[in-house]
Amino acid sequence: MSIYLPIAELSVNIFLLLSLGGVVGFLSGMFGLGGGFLMTPLLIFIGIPTNVAVATSANQIVASSISGTLGHWRQGLVDFKMGGVLLIGAFFGSILGVWIFSKLVANGQIDTVISILYFTLLTGIGLSMLIESSKVIRDRIRRKSVKQKIHYHNWAHRLPFKVRFYKSKLYISVIPPIIIGFVIGILSATMGIGGAFILIPAMIYFLGMPTSKVIGTSLFQIIFITALVTILHATTTFAVDAVLAFFLILSSVIGAQVGVLAANKLRGEEIRALLAIIVLGVATKIALDLLVEPNEIFNLSVIRLVF
């Protein structure tokens, strides 16, 4: 059974869509990630145009990050003030990002740029996850426990415009969080991701936020970034496909909840290593598409229907 997507202007198998959303949702629920970094390239692999994949993926992340934030919010693990400061940067970043995106669509380089960005990103995530999980597995075998540093003092503490963030027990300049938000905003708008896997380490290492507050706060601000990106794409690139988004959201929300349940029952390291391999597999596929001479070196895109 297939469904016609009104904005992508093609029909796809409905079960393929639901299982794609379900699997990405499951992985995101299990690892507490938004899943946009897998959703966008997988949508492109099944033939969805790049601009539709990016814009619709942002819309889907709104749903999955709301699901995720609620739990953290109830436990008081969201630093709204920090989230707000990050959002100031993200606001301008995503406007710039959508502008860059529409320029790239116009001159035909969007596919290439997206491929290179995703290759870099996925290779980075995949390798770091693989190294981290194999280290944990090795340490477990050797029965070692790893001690982690709690607080970092660095350049972020020496800049002007210092503000007190009571929830995170921080007294730092607002400049670093605004810059971080700005960068995440650009990436979110151009790649259709929430950016948690960049945001979370940045918040821990650059801002020195306590780990317990990091996930809730990053999810909280991802809701707003991706919401903004959705609106910006809907109004400038017209690439948000509501039908595609509906099926992806439905299946990914269910998948995410199942993923959360599964995460409590399964041992994390092995699955994390598995996810790392999936991520690296997707990265390899993207690299091959760029490096191997294509069968057809010409590609066609419709600019305008003549009425």
Partner 1 sequence: MIRQLSILFYFLIGSLTPSISIALVIGSDQEEIYIDANFSGEELLVFGAFYSDPSQSRDSKSDILIEVVGPLEDVALRKKDSYFGFWLNSKSVTFRDVPGFYYLSSTSKLTNEFLANNQIGLLEKKKSEMIDRSSLTTDWGSVMNEKEKKEFYSALIRTKQNDSLYKQVSDEIEIIDGNLFRSYIDIPNTVPVGEYNVNLHLIIDNEVSQEYSYTFVVTRVGIEEAIYSFSKNYPFFYGLISLIIAIIIGWSGAEIFKRFRKV
* CB 16 to partner 1: min, Å: 13
Instruction: Name the token pair of 148.
Output: 């982690």
Residues 6+ apart with CB under 8 A from 127: 276, 280
In whole angstroms, what is the distance from residue 12 CA to residue 2 CA? 5
Cα 136 → chain centroid = 24
* Site residue total, partner 1 (CB under 8 A): 62
* CB 163 to partner 1: min, Å: 29
Q: Is 299 in the site for partner 1 (CB under 8 A)?
A: yes
In the set 261, 262, 266, 277, which binds partner 1 (CB under 8 A)? 261
In the set 28, 50, 57, 60, which binds partner 1 (CB under 8 A)? 60
In whole angstroms, what is the distance from residue 168 CA to residue 76 CA? 11
Contact pattern for partner 1 over residues 220 through 259, marking x by CB under 8 A: -------x--xxxxxx--x-x-xx-xx--xx--xx-xx--
Helices (H), 32-141: 36-45, 50-74, 80-106, 110-141
In the set 143, 149, 153, 304, which binds partner 1 (CB under 8 A)? 304
In the set 4, 152, 171, 205, which binds partner 1 (CB under 8 A)? 4
In the set 76, 108, 201, 281, which binds partner 1 (CB under 8 A)? 108
In whole angstroms, what is the distance from residue 1 CA to residue 33 CA? 30
Q: Is 16 in the site for partner 1 (CB under 8 A)?
A: no
Instruction: Name the token pair of 107.
Output: 């001159």
* CB 14 to partner 1: min, Å: 10
Q: Is 46 in the site for partner 1 (CB under 8 A)?
A: no
Sign, CA torsion 242/243/244/250: positive
Q: Is 75 in the site for partner 1 (CB under 8 A)?
A: no
At 182 the three-state DSSP class reads helix
**Any bridge partners for residue 10, and if so which?**
5
In the set 19, 71, 103, 267, which binds partner 1 (CB under 8 A)? 71
The CA distances from residue 213 to 64, 136, 226, in Å, are 18, 23, 20
Instruction: Name the token pair of 124.
Output: 């980075």
* CB 239 to partner 1: min, Å: 9
**Residues at the interface with partner 1 (CB under 8 A):** 1-4, 6-7, 9-11, 59-60, 62-68, 70-71, 108-109, 111-112, 227, 230-235, 238, 240, 242-243, 245-246, 249-250, 253-254, 256-257, 260-261, 290-294, 296-307
